[in-house]
Structure 1
């Protein structure tokens, strides 16, 4: 069995995936738009280019997502996408990139449990935690 987060965006899933590709080295594996759906699935004309299903991998881990249907988007809350990064310098770089244009909830820095840790919400509204664990 595999557990993968499925994220919903407010019409900007494609931009988010391209951003993660750039700043996290993610690999876009799928990005299906509503225009590729059968005609029997009614879709408003302005929604044809929106993402019906997307899939990216980040260092072999999978995130899936889509644009929430019109009128169904809710701001994400109650979770964070957590990245475990070995090198604190790389962790800080990823944190700065993810938080650019978003909000920082906890600045990246050394903690009693990690060589580096930070919490932010990216410019697309997705909450992230970057953790660089202490060596065993």
Structure 2
């Protein structure tokens, strides 16, 4: 069984997934614009929007799309993506990058169960828990 994450954006899908790909050492695997769908009647305002985009990182893939004009996107309040690291330097690097323009709810800090845990909603409205693995951790 696999878990795949698909996010819906308000027009920033390509920007967001390119940022995530760069920050998480990934690559864009697939991008399909709404205008390329020959089976759908696409509004002029939506033609350049992303219909489906996938990035692949060394550990997971992430997919997304842009909502159609007139659709309401309520970002960040119904999910959290959890990134678990085994290297504190990499954990800190990613947290610092994601913190730019973000609403940081909890700075990256040691907890009773892991070396570092931070929580934020990034500049694209996605909520993240970024943490070190708790495997073998002793406070």
TM-score (norm 2): 0.90
Farther off after superposition, 6-15 or 50-59: 50-59
Q: For this pair of structures, how many residues does the alignment match? A: 135
Runs of 4+ in 1 over 2 A off after TM superposition: none
Which residue in the other structure is 1:92 paired with?
Answer: 92
Alignment of 1:36 onto 2:63: no
The yes-or-no answer on 1:25 pairing with 2:25 is yes
Gaps of 5+ in 2: none
Instruction: Give me the whole-angstrom Cα distance separating, in 2, the residues matched to 1:12 and 1:33.
Output: 13
Q: Distance in 2 between matches of 1:85 and 1:60?
A: 11
The separation in 2 between residues aligned to 1:125 and 1:26, in whole angstroms, is 20
How far residue 33 of structure 1 moved from its aligned partner, in angstroms, is 0.5
Give the Cα separation in 2 of the matches to 1:81 and 1:75. Answer: 12
Root-mean-square deviation over aligned CA pairs? 1.3
Q: Is the 8 Å Cα contact of residues 33 and 47 (structure 2) preserved in structure 1?
A: yes
Query: CA separation in 1, counterparts of 2:58 and 2:114?
Result: 20
Deviation at 1:135, TM superposition (A): 4.3
Structure 1: which 5+ residue stretches go unaligned? none
Displacement of 1:134: 3.5
- Separation in structure 2 between the aligned mates of residue 81 and residue 26 of structure 1, nearest angstrom: 17
What is the rounded CA distance, in whole Å, between the counterparts of 1:23 and 1:111 in structure 2? 24
